[in-house]
Structure 1
Amino acid sequence: MALTPGPDHTLVALPAGRLRGAVEGGVAVFRAVPYAAPPVGDLRWRPSQPHPGWTGTRDATADGPSAPQPYVEGGDPVLGGHGSPPFDEDCLTLNIWTPAADEARRPVLVWIHGGGFVSGSGSLPNYSGETFARDGDLVMVSVNYRIGPLGYLYTGPEEGNSEGAGNPWLSDQLAALLWIAAHIASFGGDPENITVAGQSGGALSTASLAGLPEAQGVIKRVILQSPPFGLDLPGPDAYADRTSAFLELAGVKTVAELRELPWPALMGATGGLFARTARWGHWPTPFLPVVDGITLTRHPVEALLHGAATGIDVMIGWTREEANFGFALDPGYAAADREQVTARIAETFGADAAPGVYAAYERARPGARPVHVLMDLITDELFRVPAVRLAEARAASGRPVWAYQFDLPTPAHGGRLGAAHCLELPFVFANFDQWAHAPFVTGLAPAVRDGLAQTMHRAWIAFARTGDPNHADMPAWDPYDREWRTTMRFDSAVTAVGDLAGDSRRLHGAGV
């Protein structure tokens, strides 16, 4: 018997089959909607393939499995965890939140989670799109895609992949984007008004997507939260050592043998690759996107400076103390001395310049210990300065961006985290009830917390709707230009500041 919409469920008919979603908090939600075929068996490490569809009405009221990833019971002292069971290779699904599955053609906001290329899920309650759908009259979509060894291991030319195409994660995200463009009208969305947003690795993904020829004309604007544009992405030859090390850690000699292993064995080898690739004073990245010349032809940041992607609207930002996320609570780094940090600086600036650079960072943070200098250096190298370089280049070409810095520190862990990587996320989503498990939100003053969250949440909504983040309850926010370099400072008091990152910009030679 045919189902009809009711107070606790809603229906959508698609070419692939019918979906039965739930109504939660006055918002229609469709979970675990497949956008591509399960990437299992011979499809492991291969580009996404179309989903065959289903018969009857598919239940879309419960989350599907997240992408396989390392998991530690009890989480971590910053986020409290960034992905939880169940995990499965059959994970290529979307979650969709909409005010109504009607013909209203609302703006669409697509969320790509981060997680250092090894963790995370679009199904995490943290990333629920309910607030955006309800508060912004938007259709919000979150994406699950392959991560870790299943998404980022470069396997090189092999049977069925003779060209040596890499980046399965990117093929997943492209498949999701094209699925959304083709079907979102059935969920009340406008396929001609799509904003893609992501944080950290998800922001790098967002830029990568924007540069793909197949995505041109599909993405209208992007929001880049803490993109690690300072990463040096390897080509196939440079990636070969990582692949060889992973094969050894997994106990096999060939990719064909690796394909036969169950995915938990791949997660076991991932821990070993962390150790093999770790470098003192650098953010750990055992897996990276590969500039293979096929799926990714250049560094993702270049996509926003050349070609069709230069015409899209861009918002970009960073947190004041990004690197505190990974280094502030580590006793080994806390014990670092001036000589160690100066040697790390020399890797970037050269031995002769390193003492002067150390002194410059020391002046910028009175009372700084060596670990503070190190964290500020890493923040600049990986996040802040590359973002400013992009803003400078876009402004010079007449394609300015909206730039921001998140400054509100958390009192958690005695204040050692400061305004760390990821801390802006609960403010952007304005859903602190979904972040109660995360230690880094502990101690935030509710009045300050909630006021800043509403300011940021509404700015993200405004940008997704119109390409302009301004709204009535915040100071005027001008695009970044070469004269004023306006950057919105999100703190207990929200202020538009000229050249907020000026010290870092000048030190690293990012703009005149």
Structure 2
Amino acid sequence: MSDASGFTRRAVLGSGLGGAAFMAAPHLQARTGDPQALGYRGFSDRGTQAFLGIRYARAARFAPPRREGLPKQATRAIEFGPLCPQRNPMTPRMSEDCLFLNIWTPDARPSARRPVMVYFHGGAYNWGSVTDPLTQGPHLAAQADAVVVTVNHRLNLFGYGWLQPLGERFRHSGNAGQLDLICALEWVRDHIAAFGGDPGRVMVFGQSGGGAKIATLMAMPEADGLFHSAATMSGQQVTAQGPANGWQRTLVLLERLGLPEGKGAADALLALPFERLVDALDATDPILGGSLYFGPVLDMVHLHRHPFWPDAAPQSLAIPMILGNTLDETRAFIRADGPVVRDLDWSNLAERLGPQIRIDLPTPWVVEQYRRRFPDWSVEQVFYAATTAGRSWPGQVIEADARAHAGAEGTWVYQLDRPSPIDPARGAAHTDDLPYVFGTLDAEGSYAGTGRRAREISDAMIGAFAGLAHEGRPGLDAWQPYRLPERQTLVIGEDRIRMVDDPRRWERELWGRAPYIQPGS
């Protein structure tokens, strides 16, 4: 174990990474004298040039995307494009015509040649938005001295529904959303120089489902060479969805819609208004329970192997990568005041653990092990630690170990331990690293606070991510690469940032006694 609380940024990143965290309001304000690039008229968003709602492709329902040409006349780029149709959207504007991206740049001149940071949003492949105030890019672009791009794409049934058994016209359906991301990266490769970006230095990063999308791209031949570094934040994809499970989900959807199998169902799926299809997504998932899940499919058309099983995909090994997680992941989506945790006590803990974990161990035994190891913990502490370690964390361990075992170019792992100062009961939960990386500490939905410590952590994380984008290794000198058997991990706490070898070894070994089953696969 080594203390790295005195981290420094490398000089190559310059003063652009130095100053205080940005505290601007999250709303957008256009100004006169809008900057232009490739015929797009943008605006100044909190001091950074922005171009929003740029179309990168069009796509017919369930078909692969078709790259869109550049506009032939001046085009306003001052508002986000619509979201893919989904349940409970963040904003009401939805359309199947949703293939748009957004750009923030410190300098839109082609000679600027800054690295490019492309963000894919979370939402488990089924929902999500790039309009989230937490993940808007003006502060990150300015402080990281990089061009920031965020991408809309098709989700749920529209992006990942497995319909190939219904006929050849659905050949690409199981991975259409991934093909959208590939198409967006091709657009970046061909056009980002006009916005001041360097197409030879493209970093992809994503949180939760966005990280899982990146892991999947790292096993897709069509994505090979489109990005040069990667960072995933609480988002892993060890295995993809199997076609048999995908087809079970499709059959449930057809039943919910009142459609028989066969040509009639195929025609109806292509003709029904999207609102009908979205309404049917509330059907119960036959594999996971809850509402229907759709994710990338091992279709042998675009995805020929699992991303990290039985090993790391060979095409990914030359890509330097950051892998991150938070200490209390499940506190974000298993509410302390909800039915799972309400009235929780030692008598019912084992029973309630079972449906929440993805590693099949006897839950009474698991509870006994935690109580013996941590006798002072409350029942709620044991519940959240066990669900995080048995559900949300194992995929990252598998991916980091697989990369280390294969001798990948470079892997760096972090763990956010700092609890929220706004809601201490939340701990360090899923999504809580987002405002630190984007510099959106005061945005709606941030639990980071805006005090000195929050700004210090944000500066450090932006510096680390920017370093990966600029030069292929984190911009924190003391961050050691992850290797076996040490498993060096950057632990980001309330008091200091430090390197720790294998910080949760006991939990890793406990849950490593049985195989991890990727949710949805």
- TM-score, shorter chain, exceeding 0.5: yes
Counterpart among 12, 16, 21 of residue 42 in structure 2: 21
Shift, 1:47, TM fit: 1.0
Partner of 2:306: 299
Residue type of the alignment partner of 2:250: T
Flag the 1:445–1:252 CA change in 2: closer, same or farther, 3 A: same
Matched, 1:362 2:351: no
TM-score by length of 1: 0.85
Shift, 1:23, TM fit: 2.3
Shift, 1:403, TM fit: 0.4
Alignment deviations for residues 428-457 of structure 1 (CA, whole Å, 9 cap, x no partner): 11112322xx2x628x47222222222212
Partner of 2:25: none
Gaps of 5+ in 1: 1-5, 72-81
Shift, 1:470, TM fit: 3.3
Shift, 1:381, TM fit: 3.3
Shift, 1:284, TM fit: 6.8
Q: Secondary structure at the match of 1:456?
A: helix
Shift, 1:363, TM fit: 4.0
Structure with greater contact order relative to length (CA < 8 Å, sep ≥ 6): 2
Structure 2: distance between partners of 1:347 and 1:320: 17
Residue type of the alignment partner of 2:294: F
Shift, 1:406, TM fit: 0.7
Alignment deviations for residues 473-504 of structure 1 (CA, whole Å, 9 cap, x no partner): xxx11011114321001121211111112112
Partner of 2:488: 486
Alignment deviations for residues 350-379 of structure 1 (CA, whole Å, 9 cap, x no partner): 44xx44332223345444455544433332
Flag the 1:63–1:464 CA change in 2: closer, same or farther, 3 A: same
Residue type of the alignment partner of 2:83: S
Counterpart among 459, 462, 468 of residue 457 in structure 1: 462
Partner of 2:6: none
Shift, 1:304, TM fit: 7.7
Partner of 1:95: 102
CA contact (8 A) 1:341 1:370 kept: no
Matched, 1:501 2:504: yes
Counterpart among 394, 400, 403 of residue 394 in structure 1: 403
Moved more, 415-424 or 329-338: 329-338
Counterpart among 433, 437, 447 of residue 441 in structure 1: 447
Structure 1: distance between partners of 2:311 and 2:218: 7
Partner of 2:54: 33
Shift, 1:60, TM fit: 0.8
Moved more, 299-308 or 87-96: 299-308
Structure 2: distance between partners of 1:332 and 1:226: 24
Flag the 1:417–1:373 CA change in 2: closer, same or farther, 3 A: same
Partner of 1:77: none
Partner of 2:247: 240
Moved more, 49-58 or 127-136: 49-58
Shift, 1:227, TM fit: 1.4
Residue type of the alignment partner of 1:250: L
Counterpart among 258, 268, 287 of residue 279 in structure 2: 268
Partner of 2:16: none
Once the two structures are superposed, the pairs formed by residues 184-195 of structure 1 within 5 Å of their partners are: 184-195=192-203
Alignment deviations for residues 403-429 of structure 1 (CA, whole Å, 9 cap, x no partner): 00011112555x432211111111111
Structure 2: distance between partners of 1:289 and 1:180: 23
Partner of 2:474: 469
CA contact (8 A) 2:358 2:391 kept: no
CA contact (8 A) 1:385 1:504 kept: no
Structure 2: distance between partners of 1:359 and 1:105: 56
Shift, 1:179, TM fit: 0.8
CA contact (8 A) 1:220 1:312 kept: yes
Residue type of the alignment partner of 1:356: W
Partner of 1:226: 234
Once the two structures are superposed, the pairs formed by residues 40-439 of structure 1 within 5 Å of their partners are: 43-71=60-88, 83-102=90-109, 103-158=111-166, 161=169, 163=171, 165-229=173-237, 233-253=240-260, 254-273=265-284, 278-279=288-289, 286-302=293-309, 305-334=312-341, 335-336=343-344, 337-341=348-352, 348-351=359-362, 354-370=363-379, 372-399=381-408, 400-411=410-421, 415-435=424-444, 438=445
Q: Secondary structure at the match of 1:503?
A: helix
Moved more, 265-274 or 243-252: 265-274
Flag the 1:451–1:189 CA change in 2: closer, same or farther, 3 A: same
CA contact (8 A) 1:250 1:258 kept: no
Structure 1: distance between partners of 2:140 and 2:427: 27
Structure 1: distance between partners of 2:375 and 2:467: 38
CA contact (8 A) 2:220 2:304 kept: no
Structure 2: distance between partners of 1:164 and 1:108: 28
Q: Secondary structure at the match of 1:497?
A: strand
Structure 2: distance between partners of 1:345 and 1:124: 27
Q: Secondary structure at the match of 2:35?
A: strand
Residue type of the alignment partner of 1:502: R
Moved more, 48-57 or 477-486: 48-57
Moved more, 104-113 or 375-384: 375-384
Flag the 1:427–1:156 CA change in 2: closer, same or farther, 3 A: same
Structure 2: distance between partners of 1:356 and 1:305: 32
CA contact (8 A) 2:215 2:307 kept: yes
Moved more, 417-426 or 455-464: 455-464
Flag the 1:303–1:90 CA change in 2: closer, same or farther, 3 A: farther
Structure 2: distance between partners of 1:303 and 1:261: 40
Moved more, 335-344 or 193-202: 335-344
Structure 2: distance between partners of 1:310 and 1:451: 32
Flag the 1:422–1:289 CA change in 2: closer, same or farther, 3 A: same
Paired residues in the alignment total 473
Q: Percent identity?
A: 30
Shift, 1:163, TM fit: 4.0
Partner of 1:75: none
Q: Secondary structure at the match of 1:97?
A: strand
Moved more, 137-146 or 453-462: 453-462
Structure 1: distance between partners of 2:356 and 2:57: 45
Structure 1: distance between partners of 2:188 and 2:412: 26
Shift, 1:308, TM fit: 2.1
Gaps of 5+ in 2: 1-30, 515-521
Flag the 1:389–1:470 CA change in 2: closer, same or farther, 3 A: same
Q: Secondary structure at the match of 1:95?
A: strand
Structure 2: distance between partners of 1:11 and 1:196: 25
